Structure 1
């Protein structure tokens, strides 16, 4: 029976708690921690975790609770220090997205994982969705041919009150805006589907949130071999209509699910009816794919628990988390410096280092916090 600890008891902690409770035969939540006094104990009580101990000091929990695996569900600026402390204590780690605000911190986490011999997994719960797993199966099948263009719309909407929380909307505490903290899901999916791009260019803006200094909108173009990907990261899109549209040499497939395949007439124009045989083949592949047993956070926790028991790497590991941060960093560098950024980013690049983005990023709006939050 694996002993589980959870650090951070805000809203996202519920997804971790419910995920572990789904596998009560394999694990038990024995400890929760939060820096706000009494909050961890209250979360344990509210969640029916009568045997779990609440800690007001996460490092004390790591030292005293004898946990095998810890979930870190705290603001991004704290991820690296907590993950490194847990790994160095011989504890497996599941850390919420984004992995960390900088590549330097990500590499420090990977180094801790390497020397500890424990597992490090970064939350990528959308890999554990049936519709997206189907998209992955189609891309991997080769039925689309070479990829020409991908459009990714990470479209969210948040009102101004969203940024009234003390750590949100700041380069120092949140590490960035919607590109880092919302589109990280779609960036991970893009890398999962297609791998790492070779070049990135981008523009950043704060279009609608006067109480946030970070971007609420970015548009990036990524080069893949002969093709391109287009990524919109946003918290200003009404309707939150999120899409991934993949245009291949022979067909187009998308999520929400849609399949199209053209064939040329003698003049090179689209022939009437398209390529119905290819469409049928793609639809058949989608229809025969076995559904996932568990989805979302629950699916990722299931995989991580199995990986610990089986002594294998998890589906979404620390290297995957770092790769997503590398793309985010390149988008920020491209948008701030107004240049085309090549990947990989080297350790000598100023944007690799922790603190450089915070020091050099534009304050797109002056912060205006409620007095209670400022005092806190």
Structure 2
């Protein structure tokens, strides 16, 4: 039985609790920690956990309670500190997205993982959605041809009051806007499906709807890969409808999540033939439908994978290295958008955007955050579908 502690009991923590409770024969939640202990107590009561409550993660780690895994569900600016302290105490770590605020923090976390011989996994739960897993498998099959263009749509909508929360909308606390905190899911997806980082990145950042926030609420990035193919990533909290997805325009067909497939065939004059390539569409559809569904989706699927990794002494599907790659691409988008230049990858350790201080020094501050409330009303949240 693996004992689990959760640090940070805000909006995302209940999803972790519910995922962990699916495996009550393999793990048990023994501690909850939050700088607002009343929030931890409320979560404890809601799920009848009967666990210890702490207001500081270092007190928790020093308490003597047997803890095997620490789930980190706090704002991004303390992810690295809590993860490193937990791993130095011999605990495995599951850290919510984004892994950290910069590459320097990611590298310090990876060093702590290796030195302490523990497992660290960064949450990217959409890899455990049938739509994304099956899209990747279909792309890997080669039936649709090589990927020529990926269109990544991280479309979310957040009202003005979203950025009233004290730590949101500040570069030094949130680390950025939707590029870091929302599109992180979809940027991980494109990294996973493409299998590599792009060679070049350019981007534009804007804040068009939230004048109570320093950070962007919209960014559009264009990526160029070694083989000459392109990708476009739109990161937004201004899109009504929250229609998220990823579309792959391959040499012979388009495949996407939400699932759709189209395939053109040429007339002698180069224009598309009416009806398209029905034979190829049917072949792709048959392959897609032949793929078995995952037993568990979302956070629950990732939690199962982490438990398997710890129990079998192996790497989880989503490792710290995966989390670092996502932060590297996000850092490149911010550099391109803030400095208005084409950025080449990989980023070196002497690059300003390798460190959080460098990001803060160069960040574009769209507005001055004038409102800061301690807590927003508790309510349901949206965590996306793709």
Per the normalisation by structure 2, the TM-score is 0.94
Q: Secondary structure at the match of 1:218?
A: strand
- Tell whether 2:5 aligns with 1:5: yes
- Secondary structure of the structure 2 residue equivalent to 1:98: coil
Deviates most, 86-95 or 360-369: 360-369
Shift of 1:268: 2.1
C-alpha separation in 1, matches of 2:129 and 2:372: 38
Q: State whether structure 2 residue 4 is matched by structure 1 residue 14.
A: no
2:33 aligns with: 33
Q: 2: distance between equivalents of 1:21 and 1:258?
A: 34
Residue aligning to 1:130: 130
2:43 is equivalent to residue 43 of structure 1: yes
Q: Secondary structure at the match of 2:346?
A: coil
Shift of 1:146: 1.6
What is the alpha-carbon distance in structure 2 between the residues aligned to residue 241 and residue 158 of structure 1? 13
Name the structure 2 match of 1:184.
184
Instruction: Please give the alpha-carbon distance, in whole angstroms, between the structure 1 residues aligned to 2:243 and 2:157.
Output: 10
Q: How many residues align?
A: 372
Task: Give the 3 Å change call, closer, same or farther, for CA 155–210 of structure 1 in structure 2.
Answer: same
Unpaired runs of 5+ in structure 1? none
Answering whether residue 276 of structure 2 is matched by residue 274 of structure 1, we say yes
1:260 pairs with 2:262 = yes
SS at match of 2:231: strand
Q: Distance in 1 between matches of 2:143 and 2:373?
A: 57
The residue that corresponds to 2:165 in the other structure is 165
The one-character-per-residue Cα deviations of 1:81-129 (angstroms, maximum 9, x if unpaired) are 0000011111100000000011000000000001011000000010110
2:189, 2:199 → 1: CA distance?
17
Q: Is the 8 A contact 1:20 1:27 kept in 2?
A: yes
CA offsets per residue over residues 159-194 of structure 1, 9 Å max, x none? 110001000000000000010000001000010110
**Counterpart position of 1:197:** 198
Within 2, Cα distance between the matches of 1:360 and 1:222? 21
- Verify: 1:362 aligned to 2:364, yes or no: yes
Distance between the aligned counterparts of 2:312 and 2:332, measured in 1? 36
TM-score where L is the length of structure 1? 0.97
Q: CA deviation at 1:370?
A: 4.7
**1:244 maps to which residue?**
246
Structure 1 Cα separation of the partners of residues 288 and 17 of structure 2: 32
Report Cα offsets for 1:311-362 as digits up to 9, x if no partner: 1110111011010000110000000111100111011111101211122212
In the other structure, the counterpart of 1:304 is 306
CA separation of 1:30 and 1:264: change in aligned 2, threshold 3 A: same
C-alpha RMSD of matched pairs (Å): 1.2
2: CA distance, partners of 1:124 / 1:372: 27
CA distance in structure 2 between the partners assigned to 1:221 and 1:271 by the alignment: 30
Residues 166 and 373, structure 2, Cα contact 8 Å, conserved in 1: no
Secondary structure in structure 2 of the residue aligned to 1:28: strand
Q: Which moved more, 1:92-101 or 1:266-275?
A: 266-275
SS of equivalent to 1:32: strand
Partner of 1:324: 326
Separation of aligned partners in 2, 1:285 and 1:372: 50
Contact 2:217 2:237 in 1 (8 A): yes
What is the SS of the residue equivalent to 1:29? strand
CA contact (8 A) 1:156 1:240 kept: yes
CA distance in 2, matches of 1:312, 1:276: 43
Distance 1:128 1:371 in 2: 34
TM-superposed CA distance for 1:150, in Å, is 1.0
Q: CA deviation at 1:33?
A: 0.7
User: What is the distance in 1 between the residues matched to 2:372 and 2:348?
Assistant: 40
* Structure 2 residues not aligned, in runs of 5+: 376-386
1:205-253 CA deviation, whole Å, 9 max, x = no partner? Answer: 0011010010000000000222100111000111111121110111111
Which whole-Å CA distance do the structure 1 matches of 2:148 and 2:162 have between them?
A: 37
Alpha-carbon distance in structure 2 between the residues aligned to 1:159 and 1:276: 44
Q: Over residues 36-57 of structure 1, what are the superposed CA-to-partner deviations in whole Å (9 max), with x where a residue is unaligned? A: 244323321222102x111111
**Equivalent in the alignment of 1:79:** 79
* Structure-2 residue corresponding to 1:342: 344
2:383: which partner in 1? none
CA distance in 2, matches of 1:203, 1:253: 27
Residues 288-310 of structure 1: per-residue CA shift (max 9 Å, x gap): 11100001100000000011111
Aligned match of 1:291:
293
Q: Secondary structure at the match of 1:355?
A: helix
1:63-74 mapped onto 2 (5 Å cutoff): 63-64=62-63, 65-74=65-74
Aligned to 1:148: 148
Q: Is the 8 A contact 1:41 1:55 kept in 2?
A: no
